[in-house]
Structures are given as structure tokens and as C-alpha cells.
Structure 1
């Protein structure tokens, strides 16, 4: 931005003030009466006239006529803006005089700011107003090159009611020096008075202020839960074929209110590396001339985006979900809480979950194998007992046969034992009965000797 030594600026402003055009109220005609809002005034048809003549008044505004009280003097109290208009007095049907009433306040003092959207645009100077200006208010702007009156250009400013501000356009000649200083003066006037703005010294480079960047988008990067890609484009008013911009990006996770900023971005994209996992982020971008001339643009519209999220991480947000095991009867077993399926494999107490998970799924099968083995062993034992019981009965039947079959009768435990001389040590050999089991010397096993 152009800078001047303080003594030089003082001399330049003094010279400009000496050559400044007067900024006073607009000239009022003889039949115009000015009134301030809220004031009381009196309109007179004539200063001296016959007192026995009846004078009537009529207000004419926007094509409509209204009769007023009769009399040479017409008092009006607490004026409003709606009271402005033309008032005529009559004697009979003869018009004697018409007066124009203006209800106005002196204009606001302009506080001008100038900017230029790009190197190939004109300079715009504007200032806002607190209230709508009175009808007939005029705003002018003068630009003096080299601080001489001969090169002064005058521009009429236009009022925009929707934005409630005056805007003046300063034509920039082709090939003008961007570092050359200009003096800008403003004046706003109406029937109630005039107000001059403070003179400003500007340069074409110093008033550069681009429009905000367009088409700002925020997208997630796959398998990068802490990264976001921000893209945008140059404003349409800036020709990036010859002049470049640098950008500043700011972002924040919701609902935080503090922004993080990234400066000196020369591309139209940026990767954010420290985004918060799973949170939506608000991103804005603004621009400035590449060498730092002028001011930053306004921030762009807010764009939002959320980093990529691993689908497996969503299980923690689904509450208790089905991890039941099918049973033999068609029903389902217990349901495990989602803490056992956390991403890092550690439960809330710090213990590993992988083993607990494995136990919970493997234990039923182990129980089935163990139970099956136990049942098989019990079945085998029962089969052996039944088999030997059957053989035992068959052995009893063999002992009841007549002598000569090679079997001795089993003696009950309660009966006395026969003498040893009457009991042979060995039984005579004989062929076993068909289908039976030949057992020799069973007395040896059951006699207790």
C-alpha cells in the first residue's frame, strides 16, 4: 500500500481543503418552506391583506387534494415526513399562493470506504446510512489526481434502498499507475443542510479487495478418519489468467466456536490433517491479492463435511446387538454387550476382550464334546454291566443241571460248606452247552478261599 511521510500528507490535505468544493444545503426557492421532523411551523397565505376575506387551504400531494381549516395562517404541529407536499391557499375558487413544504433533517456525514474487485475493475466507494435519506438528497464524489483542481473528476452517487447505502463508481483509465495516490472527497446535501465526508488518500493497489471464493466443498478421504479435502474456485470477478490470489482457510468441528486457520495457500484445494473423528466440520475460505496488496475478501459461505468413518466403528453406536448362539432346541442363547466388540480389543476395565470373545463362542462346543463323551462312557458301562449280568444268570442256570455236566451247584452264603474230602479240586472235562460260556472252577472265585 502506498505510504507518504506525515508532513507531505498534511500539506496535501491542506491543499485539498483549500480547493474543496463547498458542501452546503441545496438551494431552496422562495416558495419553499423547510421544516424539521417534530417541529411546529405556520404557513401564511399573505403577510398583509384584508381581514374580512375568508381564506381556505388545500394540501396537494401525489395527486390527491385535502381541505384544511380556513384562515390566513395554517398552523402545523409535530411535523412528520408524510406532511411534506404542496399547500395552496384560495379565496373562493381563486388560488392566491402555493407553498412547498419540505420535512427533512440534515444528511448523515458519509464515512467512505473504497475497494476494487480486481486489477481490471473500477473503484467503488460506498458508505452505509442509519436511516433512509430524505427525498431529493444528493450525494457527490470527487477524485483529484495529483492533487490539482484541473484533474478533478466528479461522480454522482446512487442510493440502493435494499442495502441502504450510497455507491459511487470511479472510472480507472487504462494503464493507470496502481501506486499513484488519489484524493477522494464526498458531499451529501439536501434542503436542510449538507455534510462532507473525510478526505481519503487511496492507491489502486491499496484498495484491492477480491470477492469471496466460490464453490467451496468439503469431502472425506477414504480410510483417513482425521483428514478432509477442501476445494474451491476463484471468484468470477477475478481473472486468474493474469493475476493470482492467495487464500486462507479456517475450520472448526461442531459445536466448537473457535476456528483453526491455515495461511499462505496458493492452490484451490487443501487437505486438513487434524480433523476430529466422526464430527461434522464447518469450513470457510477467503482470498487476497497474491503479493498482499489490499485487503482480504469476505469469508465464503460455510461448507460442511465429516471425515471418513470405518463401518466397523459404527457398531459402538448401535447399542446391544445380536451375538446369540443357536442352541440344539432352536432357541438362542445370551446376547453379548457391544463393549466386547470394541475396536481396540480392550474392555472398559483394561482387560483383553479377544480371549473373552473366544471363550464365549468356543465354550458351548467344548461342553457338547465333553457331554457327548461322558454320555458315551456311561452307555458303554451300562452295556458292560447288563452283558455281564446276563452272563451271570446263564452261569446260574448251568449249575442247576444234573451231575455229569461238569458244573457244581453254587452254595448260598448262609449254608455250611461241605468237607474238603467230598469236593473234588478239578471238575471233569465236558463240552460246554450250546450257546453258553464254559467257566471252570467258579467255586475258586466265589468261595472266598
Structure 2
């Protein structure tokens, strides 16, 4: 693939005029040289102008150079005026521009794309009265958005020339089409195929045959919740799919409930009809469980996808709590400092009056007993000292010298002594 700066090339746009002739450039260069007296400045200016006169190529406003990117087999011909890409890849898609003398003179947009893959068409309904939706999701990235349309026929198979209607489709990240619902054709065979066109070619899907009720695939149940029951039971509840239309409630929906311990890989599946709750009766206590649901119409259509897992831990019997010491707030509110034994049942009684009543305090009794014992010990001690000291006093009294006795005492003493002597004489032997 070669690109040259020519206004006659396909897909090219000339964005500026062609460069001036070589003679004009030389005259300009000579005029410029006359303005410089310094030879070094003149040499530097020539180098700069030489660079400006070269051809330069840019890819999405980035300079095209071999050392900046793996361009594959890239070649610059005719002094850079021609860019040759021998092999291109989808990554080489972009806008290529040629610049000369600092101006853009040529631009071309290059799109590198592969032939579109063969589409795989799928069709479904989310509710009996909802629209039919057909879509195709590409497995490979697409550089250029393709155009899609659906060809649909409801003619009987025995018709020699079935009639196909072309239905336009939309494309965002995938191709999809929406078909209006027709209650009279819910069990009529439909034949459809998808056509995809792009800049590099066209392709079609294989034929798809279906009836609207056969492709009925509802969304999963909504609002799944689990309530723990005492013992080995868990109650699971849910609601209808959010996309299930109210006018379709006369259709009967069946469910499948799947559950297992989260550490196990063995699922248990229970079928449920015409109700939105179920009680699981064989759970292990204190074990975490994983619960999921799906649904479908009872007689037609396909199973929905499973709901997102709901994790819950089964009921565990609470352990008995040992009693702890508690304080009587009523006794603490009085704040008198008296023990609890001094507070009567009647809250209006004064604790001091109650203490002065016939109720004796253990502390008072102990004080009385100790005081009595101490009194007895003191009395014995005093009596013992008196008895032991009396002979000493008499001896001291007898040995007292007369000169030491006062006259009055001396006279009294002599009088007593005389009386004793007379008594001894009269009572002699």
C-alpha cells in the first residue's frame, strides 16, 4: 500500500496548496543568506530550512518513524513523498497526513478490517406478551461498525415462495432487533436470518426456526430472601421476575430451588409449583448455605438463568449465660453508708431510729464483750499489785526512824504502842 501526496488519489483530501517551485525556494534562500553576516548563523539556518523542506508523515497526529513503533514493513520513497506499508494490521487504522514545509498537503483515512465473522443469531421472549428480541454478539473486536438487518418470514413451510420481511436492526456493542408481539402467532413457526454488511464484505447467519412460546425465556426470580427458623429450617421467599408482565399472570410459573453448604459441591434441587416460598427442613445448624433459584413457564419455553447466590448461616442454639453479680440499686440510692442489714422493708423508716431499736448490732456486742474482758484484766492486775505491795509498806513503816517521824505522828505512834503493850501484859500466858 503506497500513498503519495497527489490530489487525485482515492479517499484523499488536499488540505493546503502545493509547495512553491525550486527556483522560488532558492531565491528565498539567497535573500535570507544576505541578511546574515555571521557564517555560523547562516549554516544553522540552512540546516533548519533543510529540515522544513523535507516531507513528513503523521499517523493520528504522531510522527511516523520506525524507531517509535513497530510499523511492520514501512518504506519512505522519493525523498519521503511516498509512504509504503507493505503489510497492514487492524492496529494501523487511522488518519495519515503528509506535511511539507511545515504545512499539511495531503490526508487519507485508512481502515484495516477483517471480513466480518459469520453471525450466530439468537431470539427470545422474556414474557408471553413481550416483544421478540433477536441479537448477535461478535466474538472478535470490530473496527468499523457494520450494518445489520433481519429477514423474517411467517409463511407456512409448504409455501413455494415464502415472503421475507426486512427488519432494520441497531448496533451498539452487538447487533439486536425487536419484533412486536402478536398473540395470534404465539404458536406460529417463524423463520429468520441475520444479514451483516461492512466495508470489506457481507455475511449472513444460518436460518433459525422457532415459535414465540418456544423461545420464551424469563428473567430469574427477584428479591430472593431467607429467614432463619428455630431448629433445622430456613424459609426462602422470592417474587416474580421484574420483566414478567402483569397481564401474563394467568400463565403458570414453576421454580427450581438449589441449595448446598458453601464448603460443599453437591447441590440439592427442589421443584416448586405455583408459589413463591419454600421451607428447607434438613439444614445443619450453624452452617453457611448457598441458595439460588430459577424459573420457567410451566408448559412452554426455557429455564431462566440462576439467580445470584444468596449466602446465609443456619440457626444456632444460643449458649446459656452464667449469672453475674448484681447490685441492689435501691440500697445504693440511700447513700447513708449503713449496711444492708440496717435497712427495713419499710422505706419510710429512719435507719438511725431503726439502729436504736431492739435490733442489736453485731459490732456493738463485740465492743461490749471486749470492754468487759479488758475491765476484768485491769481489776486483777490492780488487786495483785496491792496484795504484793502491803508487806513492803509495813516493813518500811516499821523500819522508819523515829527522828524521821513528825511530832504528831510520833505521839500517836507511842500511844498506840503503849496500848498494845498493856494489852499484851493483861493477856499474858
For residues 137 and 64 of structure 2, what CA distance do their matches in structure 1 show?
A: 39
- Whether 1:233 aligns to 2:226 is no
In 2, distance between residues paired with 1:288 and 1:268? 13
* 2:297 paired with 1:289: yes
2:155 aligned residue: 146
Q: Partner of 1:101 in structure 2?
A: 110
User: Equivalent residue for 2:186?
Assistant: 178
The one of 123, 126, 136 aligned to 1:114: 123
Structure 2 alignment gaps of length 5 or more: 9-20, 23-52, 66-75, 324-429
Alignment of 1:267-416 (within 5 A): 267-291=275-299, 293-311=300-318, 314=319
Return the match for 2:2 from 9, 19, 42: 42
**CA distance in structure 2 between the partners assigned to 1:73 and 1:142 by the alignment:** 46
Q: Is 1:156 paired with 2:183?
A: no
Given the superposition, is the C-alpha separation of residues 67 and 302 from structure 1 closer, same or farther in structure 2, using an over 3 Å criterion? closer
Cα deviations by residue, 1:217-268 (Å, 9 ceiling, x for unpaired): 111223xx22211100001211353333111111001211111001143200
Taking a change above 3 Å as real, the CA distance of residues 97 and 252 of structure 1, as seen in their structure-2 partners, is same
* Distance change >3 Å, CA 134–CA 171, structure 1 → 2: farther
- CA deviation digits over 1:340-373, x for unaligned, max 9? xxxxxxxxxxxxxxxxxxxxxxxxxxxxxxxxxx
Matches within 5 A, 1:190-269: 190-222=198-230, 225-240=231-246, 241-269=249-277
Q: Which runs of 5+ in 1 are unaligned?
A: 1-40, 323-449
Deviation (angstroms), 1:159? 2.5
Contact 2:285 2:314 in 1 (8 A): yes
Range with greater deviation from structure 2 (300-309 or 65-74): 65-74
Deviations 1:307-328 (A, max 9, x none): 33332xx46xx9xx99xxxxxx
1:57, 1:89 within 8 Å by CA — same for their partners in 2?
yes
TM-score by length of 1: 0.51
Distance 2:287 2:95 in 1: 66
Q: Distance in 1 between matches of 2:180 and 2:4?
A: 49
Deviations 1:367-410 (A, max 9, x none): xxxxxxxxxxxxxxxxxxxxxxxxxxxxxxxxxxxxxxxxxxxx
Distance in 2 (alpha carbons) for counterparts of 1:113 and 1:141: 12
Q: Distance in 2 between matches of 1:100 and 1:281?
A: 58
Q: How far off its partner does 1:125 sit?
A: 1.7
Aligned-pair distance for 1:302? 1.4
Distance 2:297 2:177 in 1: 23
What value does the CA root-mean-square deviation take over the aligned residues? 3.6
TM-score normalised by the chain length of structure 2: 0.54
Q: State how far apart, in whole Å, the 1-side matches of 2:223 and 2:179 are.
A: 30
Shift of the 57–121 alpha-carbon distance from structure 1 to 2, 3 Å rule, reads farther
Question: How far off its partner does 1:211 sit?
Answer: 0.4
1:189 to 189, 197, 219: 197
Q: CA 1:150 to 1:251, structure 2 compared with 1: closer, same or farther past 3 Å?
A: same
Are the structure 2 counterparts of residues 304 and 44 from structure 1 closer, same or farther at C-alpha, using a change threshold of 3 Å?
A: same
Larger Rg: 2
Following the alignment from structure 2 to structure 1, what is the Cα–Cα distance between the partners of residues 314 and 93? 62
Whether the aligned pair in 1 keeps the contact of 2:155 and 2:163 (CA below 8 Å) is no
**Per-residue Cα deviation, 1:273-300 (whole angstroms, up to 9, x for no partner):** 2222221211111010122x11111111
Cα distance change, pair 262–66 in 1 and its aligned pair in 2 (3 A): same
Deviates more, 1:98-107 or 1:79-88: 79-88
Distance 1:166 1:231 in 2: 37
